[in-house]
Structure 1
Amino acid sequence: MFVTFLTILIFVAATSEALNCTNPGGPKAVKCLESFHVFIELGDNAKGFNISNKTSTTKMIENCGKFNRCRRTLDCLIEQKFVYAVNITLMFCDTVQFFSKQFIPCQILLDARASECSKNWNPYPKEIPDKVKMAEIQKVACENFFGKHGCMQKEITETCGAEMWTGFKKNNLALNTIIGACKLEER
């Protein structure tokens, strides 16, 4: 499937000169598509990505940097599915960057407090084989997306400040958009 997707993307990149773009189908675009391949492989496994694993996070940030530096070579590609995939990738990269860099000091403080809210917060529960039970577990997790009665807002604001809460909220909503775990109304 990936080979087919990559072939289509290369074809679109190579033929997009007809769109009067500045030769987006050249070697730079192909090289950029190769770096994009890492994120396509991640695909459905984004939910299982371990943000606390420094090795995988460092590698992902490196891949995000490579992709971010070359992504402008893909701007003339107008296929909506591809544009969506690029935007989701950039969103994922921003989220990984936030949680593995900016949020770490706050996470340490939250862990030290060891509050019930923080300990019980889990908007992305581990999958279980029983689909009916999993649907119920996910429903409860979505109802408490930012903790029971929204307690994570209070917890993070008191511990780390309002700006950190804003970043935490923004990046968790982005992560939810990527994973598609919860259908959330504007929060």
Structure 2
Amino acid sequence: MTGKCFYRWISTRAVEFGEKLKHLDDGNDDQLKEFKRSCDALKDCTRTLGHCEAMQNEETKKGFASMNTICTIIEFVATEFKSCDAKLDETKSTCYKDWNPFQTEIDLTEKSDITEVCSNFFGTDNCLKKDVTGACGVNEWEKLKDRLLSLNDRVKKCNFEGIV
């Protein structure tokens, strides 16, 4: 694959990924397995084609990094965090329901001033710690916090003193 053809192929894969994500029911194990296959294919693609010219484009790099982050978050919530996810759903936590780690990840990547992003990294006014700790315990909070903090280097610029 060369030139425009390769760019079109990458764009098509990205659109397909977005469509799968948009229609993903995280309570449906079959859909989660299919989504995981897409994520595995994404990782293979990045590993195999990462040296190609089209993959050196900054927007392409950001796009693939965002898709990888989405995969990591969904896989974590669907496996390691599954029981806590269910407990938070039962408590009808508005903090957890309204929290959007995907938008946060995009904002961390795209915004030059990340002060507001940092203040809402763990939900509005960082409300997740209280809700997760209350519903699931400190260990589950630590797992979630550690996973989220490991996903983006820019988050290291945030001041989470008193929160984490």
Smaller-chain TM-score range?
0.5 to 0.7
After superposition, give the CA deviation of every residue in 1:41-77 in whole Å (9 maximum; x if it has no partner): 2437846643333332221101111222342121213
CA contact (8 A) 1:122 1:145 kept: no
- Partner residue in 2 for 1:133: none
Write the mapping of 1:106-185 to structure 2, written as runs, cut at 5 A: 106-112=84-90, 114=91, 118-119=93-94, 121-123=97-99, 146-147=122-123, 149-158=125-134, 159-160=136-137, 161=139, 162-167=141-146, 169-170=148-149
- Partner residue in 2 for 1:177: none
CA contact (8 A) 1:110 1:156 kept: yes
Please give the alpha-carbon distance, in whole angstroms, between the structure 2 residues aligned to 1:54 and 1:6: 37
User: SS at 2:64's partner residue?
Assistant: helix
CA contact (8 A) 2:88 2:132 kept: yes
Please give the alpha-carbon distance, in whole angstroms, between the structure 1 residues aligned to 2:39 and 2:81: 18
Q: After the TM superposition, which parts of structure 1 deviate over 6 Å for at least 4 consecutive aligned residues?
A: none
Please give the alpha-carbon distance, in whole angstroms, between the structure 2 residues aligned to 1:49 and 1:145: 23
- Partner residue in 2 for 1:89: 67
User: SS at 2:98's partner residue?
Assistant: coil
Q: Over the residues paired in the alignment, what is the CA RMSD in angstroms?
A: 3.7
TM-score, length-scaled by structure 2: 0.56
CA contact (8 A) 2:25 2:31 kept: yes
Summarize the Cα distance change of 1:56–1:87 in structure 2 as closer, same or farther, 3 Å threshold: same
Please give the alpha-carbon distance, in whole angstroms, between the structure 2 residues aligned to 1:123 and 1:151: 9
Q: Which has the higher contact order (CA 8 A, sep 6+)?
A: 1
Amino acid paired to 2:99:
P
Q: CA deviation at 1:123?
A: 3.2
Counterpart among 4, 14, 17 of residue 39 in structure 1: 14
Please give the alpha-carbon distance, in whole angstroms, between the structure 1 residues aligned to 2:20 and 2:40: 20
Please give the alpha-carbon distance, in whole angstroms, between the structure 1 residues aligned to 2:49 and 2:71: 17
- Partner residue in 2 for 1:101: 79
Please give the alpha-carbon distance, in whole angstroms, between the structure 2 residues aligned to 1:168 and 1:154: 17
Summarize the Cα distance change of 1:152–1:111 in structure 2 as closer, same or farther, 3 Å threshold: same
User: Size of the alignment, in residue pairs?
Assistant: 128
Write the mapping of 1:6-17 to structure 2, written as runs, cut at 5 A: 7-9=5-7
Q: CA deviation at 1:110?
A: 2.8
Summarize the Cα distance change of 1:44–1:104 in structure 2 as closer, same or farther, 3 Å threshold: same
User: SS at 1:68's partner residue?
Assistant: helix
Summarize the Cα distance change of 1:99–1:165 in structure 2 as closer, same or farther, 3 Å threshold: closer
TM-score, length-scaled by structure 1: 0.51
Q: CA deviation at 1:169?
A: 4.5
